[in-house]
Amino acid sequence: MAVKSSGRWLVLSVPYLWLLALFLVPFLIVFKISLSTDAIAQPPYEPIFDLSAGWDAFKEAFAQLSFENYSYVLSWDNEFIEAYGSSLWIAGVSTFLLLLVGYPIAYGMARAPKSIRPTLLMLVILPFWTSFLIRVYAWIGILSPEGLLNQLLMALGIISPDAPLQILATNTAVYIGIVYSYLPFMILPLYSALEKMDDTLLEAAADLGCPPFAAFWKITWPLSLPGVFAGCLLCFIPAVGEFVIPDLLGGSDTLMIGKVLWTEFSVNRSWTVSSAVAVLLLMVLVIPIVFYQNLQAREVEGR
């Protein structure tokens, strides 16, 4: 009995140890750096906690920590607030577009014959077999002024060879890149929710004279909401902090917090300000997660 109990606690402790080692400890390190000040040294911040210097030196170093970097990031005199707002806007619009594109695909997969559903599922996850960076670079060749898209439209006579579409280095290219890259993350939870739906509910609605669109709106859509929320969170959260797509497909006017954070860290060599930006970004992203968890808790209580 004691062996079973200790084994159960060992299994339960694994995810907590994982979170402690790979989330909480790195977060505390970043948070400590965000409270430090820049210095011409290695590492480029101070103070450095050195327990070998004694308890008094540790207290003196602790007293030097301050929230000045947060005041600087949250002030209206720089681009950080604008970058946060722009990132939330681009991520929100991209998530909405992902839902518009992903829902019909997931619905079609859930209504397809069971024999071909594994094949359709494999086609959805097939892009993951290629490097994310290569897939984003491929869009440069498609969206550039001399790219495949403009050549196709010129061949069809839709646009003039003298006036190619300027999509690359705009926010439109960023939306296209995000929708393409994160589409499987929207489709998979939607498909999981729609596949579990009881088809007899739709048959009963049809027998009672309910039109197909009304049946979809009153039965299918409410039952698929857990998949909708899960898909939106899986796409929205990484899209807010996206760096590669806006850096490669966006232009100089594309302002996202991931690019700003990278610039502060690698170009300006300000680890303290970039750490403060990262901590505030995490706090912004925690809000929708808490909202989703509360929603799930209410659903469980409702059952």
Per-residue model confidence as pLDDT tens digits over 189-215: 999 999 988 889 988 998 898 898 999
What is the reported pLDDT for 26?
Answer: 93
Residue 19 lies in a domain: no
Classified as helix, coil or strand, 211 is: coil
Task: Indicate whether 37 pLDDT > 70.
Answer: yes
CATH number at residue 129: 1.10.3720.10
Question: Among the listed ranges 51-55, 171-175, 238-242, which one has the minimum average pLDDT value?
Answer: 51-55
| Phi, psi angles (nearest 5°) of residue 45 | -160, 160
Residue 183 lies in a domain: yes
| 83 vs 51: CA distance, rounded Å | 38
Residue 37 lies in a domain: no
| 297 vs 303: CA distance, rounded Å | 10
User: Do 237 and 285 form a contact (C-beta atoms < 8 A)?
Assistant: yes
Residue 265 lies in a domain: yes
| 277 vs 87: CA distance, rounded Å | 13
Q: Which residue has the higher pLDDT, 33 or 11?
A: 33
Taking residues 21-46, what's their average pLDDT?
90
Task: Indicate whether 110 pLDDT > 90.
Answer: yes
* Residue range of the domain that includes 111: 82-302
Task: Indicate whether 294 pLDDT > 90.
Answer: no
What is the reported pLDDT for 293?
Answer: 76
Question: Among the listed ranges 29-33, 169-173, 249-253, which one has the minimum average pLDDT value?
Answer: 249-253
List, in sequence order, every residue forming a beta bridge with 46; answer none if it has no partner.
37
Among 40-49, 178-187, 200-209, the range with the most confident prediction by mean pLDDT is: 178-187
Residue 33 lies in a domain: no
Task: Indicate whether 303 pLDDT > 80.
Answer: no
What is the reported pLDDT for 134?
Answer: 92
Total residue count of the chain as it appears in this document: 303
Task: Indicate whether 1 pLDDT > 60.
Answer: no
Residue 86 lies in a domain: yes
Torsion 109-112-115-120 (CA) sign: negative
User: Do 191 and 109 form a contact (C-beta atoms < 8 A)?
Assistant: yes
Residue 101 lies in a domain: yes
pLDDT digits (tens, 9 = 90+) for 239-281: 998 989 999 998 878 889 988 888 888 888 899 999 999 999 9
Amino acid present at 58? F
| Average pLDDT over the chain, rounded to an integer | 88
What is the reported pLDDT for 56?
Answer: 81
How sure is the predictor about 2, in pLDDT bands with cuts at 50, 70 and 90? low
Looking at the structure of the chain, the number of domains it has is: 1
How sure is the predictor about 3, in pLDDT bands with cuts at 50, 70 and 90? low
Query: With pLDDT > 70 as the criterion, what percentage of the chain qualifies?
Result: 97
What is the reported pLDDT for 291?
Answer: 75
User: What does the DSSP 8-state code read for residue 67?
Assistant: S
Residue 219 lies in a domain: yes
Taking residues 76-95, what's their average pLDDT?
90
